[in-house]
Every structure is written in C-alpha cells, then in structure tokens.
C-alpha cells in the first residue's frame, strides 16, 4: 500500500524521535557498564546511530524541497526535524567527550542522569508519535509536560553534580573534563525540551 504524504512525514518524525531514544538507551548502557577497553567501539556504534539519523533527516529535507503542501507548516516540520536531530547529535557528543577526555571511571551521579535522559527521550517519542493525531490525542500534552518536568529534574541533578565536583575534586584536569561532560549531558536534556517546544507550538498554531 502506498504511503500517503501526510503519513510519510508523521512516521518519519516518529522514526527521528526513535533514533534519539535509541541513542539515549545506548548511552545509558555504555555508562552503566563503563569499560575503557570497549569505549572506542561504543563511540563508533553511537556515531553510526547519529549517521543513520542524519540520513533520515536529509532524505526528508530533500522531499520537503519538492512539496507544495505539507500536513503542518513547512517551517515547523523543518524546525522539529532539526531539533530531533540535535537530540541525537548531543548524545553522540557526550560519548565523544568521554573519549576525548580519556575518562577512566564514571562518577556516582552519572547513572541517574543517564537513566533520566532515557525517560526524557521516551517521553519525547510519545509526543512525536501522537503528532498526527494532535487535535484529538489525550496523551500528547502529558508527554510534553513529562519532557519539560524531566528536563527540570535534570537541571537539579546537574546543579548538585557540579557543586559536588567543584567542592570535592582537587585535580584541575578532572574538574575541567567533568565540567565538559556534565555540560554535554545538560545539552541533551535541553535538546529534548526544544523539540517538545516545537510540538507545543504546532498544537497552539493549529488548535
């Protein structure tokens, strides 16, 4: 059965969000079982997820350039695809920062942040998955609220982690390295929130 134009865009957006969920889950798995011996391979595997997400986005952008009409405003489709892609980019960036800074062990507060990021990416997937039915959906707004709540919760964890880092760590190289890593994790949550903000904007415009 031929896929309709509207169905293509909504399903592609859902696939873009799924790449973010996959990246977050893989990051959590990598950090929970952190092993420097496998870090290089895991970084490559994460980058492969990011590459596939990029290819999907590029394919959609190419099709958008030929469309006369789209299911929601063109600028909103472009903005959402960019923000969803940014989620994967930010998660990939965290893995690269771990490699660049030659991290040899995870700090105790990292697993909680990683688990929270998976929940945030899952909530974002829930919101994107309901985009095709946003006028009638009973779950899209709660999913958006969940993304925003989880981002706020992550802000609190980030603040505590940074405070602990700067009050207990005496090695300046370690402080610099983990500052970059915590900032990278914070960027992931911000990216999820920015994507959910676009979805909320679409709802408001079309209500």
CB 123 within 8 A of CB 195: no
Overall domain count for the chain: 1
CA distances from 187 to 73, 90, 91, 151, 191 (A): 27, 6, 8, 10, 6
Entry pTM: 0.94
Q: Which domain holds residue 161?
A: 5-206
Task: Identify the CATH number of the domain in which residue 161 sits.
Answer: 1.20.58.220
pLDDT recorded at residue 1: 42
CB 146 within 8 A of CB 59: no
pLDDT by 10-residue block (mean), the chain, 207 residues: 70 96 98 94 97 94 77 85 97 97 95 97 97 91 97 98 97 97 98 96 84
Sign of CA dihedral 20, 84, 46, 96: negative
């Amino acid at each position: 059965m031929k896929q309709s134009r509207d169905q293509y865009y909504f399903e592609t957006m859902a696939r873009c969000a799924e790449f973010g969920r996959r990246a977050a889950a893989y990051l959590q798995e990598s950090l929970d079982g952190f092993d420097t011996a496998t870090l290089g391979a895991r970084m490559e595997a994460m980058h492969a997820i990011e590459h596939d997400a990029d290819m999907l986005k590029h394919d959609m952008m190419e099709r958008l350039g030929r469309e006369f009409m789209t299911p929601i405003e063109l600028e909103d489709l472009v903005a959402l695809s960019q923000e969803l892609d940014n989620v994967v980019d930010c998660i990939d960036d965290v893995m690269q920062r771990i490699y660049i800074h030659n991290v040899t062990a995870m700090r105790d507060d990292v697993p909680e942040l990683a688990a929270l990021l998976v929940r945030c990416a899952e909530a974002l997937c829930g919101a994107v998955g309901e985009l095709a039915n946003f006028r009638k959906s009973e779950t899209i707004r709660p999913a958006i609220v969940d993304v925003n709540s989880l981002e706020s919760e992550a802000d609190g964890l980030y603040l505590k982690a940074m405070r602990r880092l700067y009050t207990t760590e005496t090695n300046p190289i370690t402080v610099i390295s983990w500052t970059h890593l915590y900032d990278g994790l914070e960027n992931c949550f911000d990216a999820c929130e920015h994507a959910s903000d676009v979805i909320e904007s679409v709802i408001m415009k079309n209500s």
